[in-house]
Amino acid sequence: MYKNTKNIHCYLFGKGTINQIEEVLKDGYRIYFIDIYFKDKKLDLPLQKEDEIIYVDSSNEPTTDKIDEYKAYLVNKNKNKPSTIIGIGGGATLDTAKAVANLLTNEGKAEDYQGWDLVKNPAIYKVGIPTISGTGAEASRTCVMTNVKSGLKLGMNSDYTIYDQLILDPDLTKTVPKEQYFYTGMDTYIHSFESLNGNFRHTVGDAFAREAIRLCKEVFGSNDMQNDGNREKLMTASYLGGCAIANSFVGVVHPFSAGLSVVFKIHHCEANCITMRGMKEFYPNEYNEFFEMADKQKIKIPTLRKYITNINEDTFKKLYDSTIIHEKPLINALGENFKDILTYEKVKEIFTKMLKD
Q: Taking a C-beta distance cutoff of 8 angstroms, is the pair 192, 217 a contact?
A: no
User: Within this chain, do residues 342 and 217 fall inside the same structural domain, yes or no?
Assistant: yes
3-state secondary structure of 279: coil
Phi–psi pair at 248, nearest 5 degrees? -155, -150
User: Within this chain, do residues 192 and 308 fall inside the same structural domain, yes or no?
Assistant: yes
Residue 1 inside a domain? The answer is no
At 65, the amino acid letter reads D
pLDDT for 1 equals 63
The C-alpha atoms of residue 183 and residue 135 are separated, in whole angstroms, by: 10
User: Within this chain, do residues 26 and 155 fall inside the same structural domain, yes or no?
Assistant: yes
The C-alpha atoms of residue 186 and residue 221 are separated, in whole angstroms, by: 12
Which pTM does this prediction carry? Answer: 0.95
Q: Backbone dihedral region of 298: left (phi > 0), alpha (psi from -120 to 50 degrees) or beta? A: left
Full residue range of the structural domain in which residue 147 is found: 10-173
Examine the fold and report which residue of 154, 173, 192 is the final residue of a domain before the chain moves on: 173
Residue 303 inside a domain? The answer is yes
User: Within this chain, do residues 274 and 156 fall inside the same structural domain, yes or no?
Assistant: no
User: Within this chain, do residues 143 and 270 fall inside the same structural domain, yes or no?
Assistant: no
Structural domains in the chain (count)? 2
Examine the fold and report which residue of 138, 157, 173 is the final residue of a domain before the chain moves on: 173
Residue 323 inside a domain? The answer is yes
The C-alpha atoms of residue 257 and residue 149 are separated, in whole angstroms, by: 18
**For every one of its 357 residues, what pLDDT tens digit does the chain have, with 9 covering 90 and above?**
677 888 899 999 999 999 999 999 999 999 999 999 999 988 889 999 999 999 999 998 999 999 999 999 999 999 999 999 999 999 999 999 999 999 999 999 999 999 999 999 999 999 999 999 999 999 999 999 999 898 889 999 999 999 999 999 999 999 999 999 999 999 999 999 999 999 999 999 999 999 999 999 999 999 999 999 999 999 999 999 999 998 899 999 999 999 999 999 999 999 999 999 999 999 999 999 999 999 999 999 999 999 999 899 999 999 999 999 999 999 999 999 999 999 999 999 999 999 998
In 3D space, the residue among 266, 243, 251, 248 whose CA is nearest the CA of residue 327 turns out to be 251
User: Within this chain, do residues 103 and 227 fall inside the same structural domain, yes or no?
Assistant: no
User: Within this chain, do residues 134 and 168 fall inside the same structural domain, yes or no?
Assistant: yes
**Largest alpha-carbon pair distance within the chain?**
58
DSSP secondary structure, 21-63, as one string: GGGGPPSS-EEEEEEGGGTTS-------TT-EEEEE-TTS--B
User: Within this chain, do residues 211 and 129 fall inside the same structural domain, yes or no?
Assistant: no
In 3D space, the residue among 135, 148, 149 whose CA is nearest the CA of residue 98 turns out to be 135
Distinct helix (H) and strand (E) counts, the chain: 12, 9
| CATH at 301 | 1.20.1090.10
152-157 β-sheet, strand order: 115-116, 152-157, 144-147
The C-alpha atoms of residue 200 and residue 194 are separated, in whole angstroms, by: 10
pLDDT for 151 equals 83
Residue 4 inside a domain? The answer is no
Q: Backbone dihedral region of 151: left (phi > 0), alpha (psi from -120 to 50 degrees) or beta? A: left
| CATH at 127 | 3.40.50.1970
Residue 337 burial by Cβ neighbours in a 10 Å radius (0-12, 13-18, 19+)? exposed
Q: For residue 45, give Cα distances in angstroms to 84, 129, 131, 334.
A: 14, 12, 15, 46
The C-alpha atoms of residue 63 and residue 82 are separated, in whole angstroms, by: 22
In 3D space, the residue among 230, 210, 353, 355 whose CA is nearest the CA of residue 297 turns out to be 230
User: Within this chain, do residues 298 and 189 fall inside the same structural domain, yes or no?
Assistant: yes
The C-alpha atoms of residue 212 and residue 193 are separated, in whole angstroms, by: 9
H or E stretch covering 87: strand 84-89
User: Within this chain, do residues 214 and 66 fall inside the same structural domain, yes or no?
Assistant: no
User: Within this chain, do residues 161 and 261 fall inside the same structural domain, yes or no?
Assistant: no
Residue 2 inside a domain? The answer is no
User: Within this chain, do residues 137 and 186 fall inside the same structural domain, yes or no?
Assistant: no
Residue 188 inside a domain? The answer is yes
Q: For residue 7, give Cα distances in angstroms to 124, 152, 158, 204.
A: 17, 26, 11, 12
Examine the fold and report which residue of 110, 140, 173 is the final residue of a domain before the chain moves on: 173
